[in-house]
Structure 1
Amino acid sequence: MGERTVQEINGKQPVFVTVYDKLYEMLTDGTYPVGKALPPEPKLAGLLDVSRETLRKALRLLEEDGLLQKVKGKGNFVMDLNKPMVSSLEKLGNPIHKCIQVPLDEEVEMEMHLQESGDYEHKLFKRESQTALAVDRWYRSNGKIVAYTLTLAPIETFTSLGLDLANKSAMLDFFENRVYELATRSHLKVKTTWVGRFISDRYVLNEDEELTLIHENLYTEDEFKLLIHNKHYIIPEACSIEINAT
């Protein structure tokens, strides 16, 4: 079990740890190939001669250790341990593309609108900007929405760069790529939220389970000059976050 400390009970390891070890062996020796789903839980519990609760404990540990990915409504899929490590968050770059572990559809749906800045925007931007640009972006995998980003930015960010707000493709490229080339630093905060039903008026991302939420502020060399503020909402089953600290 890698570095996991096994808690012993009366001199014996818990049954779910034994199940973990057995499944680990089956996953790594190819009994259940990479990319394929394990048998349904009732069948798998029967094959291993354990209760479903015991099996679920072992499956949760395997998921934590990166050997399985649970896909809601579809099952537990075997992950590739030899797959290159995901892009990490200690370098500037779009967290959506760094953290999502499923193939994203090429098209990103985007809507933009101007709004009057209020007290929240003034505090966020640290300037008395009269107008803010609000941007919604939806990301899909095989047609299913797996992430949503809300962007807020002072209008001065775009006027100073000479960006044409009517050029939708150029604006999308700015939010997805160019802003990370212009920024000199970012501040990220990761948490969970239950607001999947309410994050946008158009779609429900995930109404019954928590979402991973990444707050992101992008700055220029002037520490107090905010370029844009992003709130990235990602369904947990599609998200993996890596940070390499030195």
Structure 2
Amino acid sequence: MQNKFIKIYKDIADRIQQGEYKSQTKLPSEHELMSYYDTSRETIRKALNLLSQNGFIQKVQGKGSIVLDARKFDFPISGLVSFKELAKKMGDNHHTYVERLERTEPGPYIRDQLRLESGTLVWEVDRVREIDGEKVILDKDYLSTAFIEDLTEDVCRNSIYEYIESSLGMTISFAKKEITVVEPTAEDRDFLDLAGYTNIVVVKNYVYLDDASLFQYTESRHRPDKFRFVDFARRTNG
């Protein structure tokens, strides 16, 4: 069963991201939060500490907890989340189009990225993400069939990560990311509404399971005006 302070943390974080608690304003006091959530001061303090660690608030002595602009975290650099999870914060103005779903033998470049032996097949999945009526992300995913034997268009349209974790029972653990700015390819121009932009932001992801197996290589290709790639770092005493 989930700890109560985790539930409180998630509830307050959602309220911050939805703008109910606005940036640079104060959260309710610990006493007010204790009353609202009907819990102890220790539980509230644990929730507030987690909010602080994850960049939602800054504790200021004598002033309480100041709300930070967490809405910048739409596409967090350090996070590992699916588009479906991110899209929950965007409302209903988003859509995913599956442009390609193919089981194929990869070329040398993809084989090298996934460290595959010759002859190993991959799923190649191309998905276009439309937000507010504009096609602004092209996700190119390559997943080793050694880990994922079957894949459907419905799964790709919904969430591959949800399928891997909920249906296949595997645990996605961590990723290495690389971010570059490049000129759009002909494929980018075909699939995306570039609106005259001559560069795109490419986020390459090397994604691993909890046993450190590399199972996915992704290139997420973004129109540059729509997203801010923001990380939050808190200095700890060494």
Tell me whether the two structures share a fold, i.e. TM-score over 0.5: yes
The offset of 1:204, in angstroms, is: 4.3
Structure 2 unaligned regions, length at least 5: 1-66
> 1:152 pairs with 142, 146, 149, which one?
142
1:137 match: 127
Following TM superposition, by how much is the alpha carbon of 1:143 offset from its aligned partner in structure 2, in angstroms? 2.1
> Do the aligned partners of 1:197 and 1:204 also contact (CA within 8 Å) in 2?
no
Question: How many angstroms does 1:169 deviate by?
Answer: 1.6
Cα distance, 1:148–1:227 mapped onto 2, change above 3 Å: same
Question: Residue 114 of structure 1 contacts residue 131 of structure 1 at CA under 8 Å; is this kept in 2?
Answer: yes
Letter in 2 for 1:187: K
1:194 corresponds in structure 2 to: 183
| Matched residue, 1:219 | 208
Shift of 1:132: 1.5
Paired with 1:147 and 1:104, the residues of 2 have a C-alpha distance of 17
How far has the Cα of 1:178 moved from its partner?
A: 4.5
Please give the per-residue CA displacement for 1:192-228, whole angstroms capped at 9, x wherever unaligned: 111253337x5244264211110011101233x2221
CA 1:97–1:174 in 2, change beyond 3 Å: closer, same or farther? closer
Structure having the higher strand fraction is: 2
Identity of aligned residues (%): 11
Q: Does 1:172 align with 2:157?
A: yes
Structure 2 distance, partners of 1:103, 1:196, is 30
Measure the CA separation in 2 of the matches of 1:102 and 1:148: 17
Cα contact 2:134–2:193 (8 A) shared by 1: no
Aligned mates of 1:124, 1:235 — CA distance in 2 = 24
CA contact (8 A) 2:140 2:219 kept: yes
Q: How many residues align?
A: 159
Query: How far apart are the structure 1 equivalents of 2:78 and 2:109?
Result: 27
Alignment equivalent of 1:93, drawn from 73, 78, 81: 81
Matches of 2:91 and 2:137, distance apart in 1: 12
Amino acid at match of 2:232: N
Distance in 1 (alpha carbons) for counterparts of 2:92 and 2:161: 13
Conserved 8 A contact 2:96-2:128? yes
8 Å contact kept, 1:196–1:204: no
Alignment of 1:1-246 (within 5 A): 84-87=70-73, 88-94=76-82, 98=86, 105-110=93-98, 111-128=100-117, 129-159=119-149, 164-165=150-151, 167-175=152-160, 177-179=162-164, 182-199=171-188, 202-206=190-194, 208-223=197-212, 225-246=213-234
Structure 1: which 5+ residue stretches go unaligned? 1-80
User: What is the identity, as a one-letter code, of the residue corresponding to 1:236?
Assistant: P
Task: Determine which structure has more spread, i.e. the larger CA radius of gyration.
Answer: 1
Q: Is the 8 A contact 2:95 2:131 kept in 1?
A: no
Structure 1 239/179 Cα, relative in aligned 2: closer, same or farther at 3 Å? farther
Secondary structure, aligned partner of 1:123: helix
> Structure 1 residues 97 and 234, CA, compared in 2 at 3 Å: closer, same or farther?
farther
Judge conservation of contact 1:193–1:213 (CA < 8 Å) in 2.
Answer: yes
Normalising by structure 2, what TM-score? 0.56
Query: Is the contact between residue 138 and residue 192 of structure 2 (CA under 8 Å) also seen in structure 1?
Result: no
On the 8 A contact 1:196/1:211 being kept in 2, the answer is: no
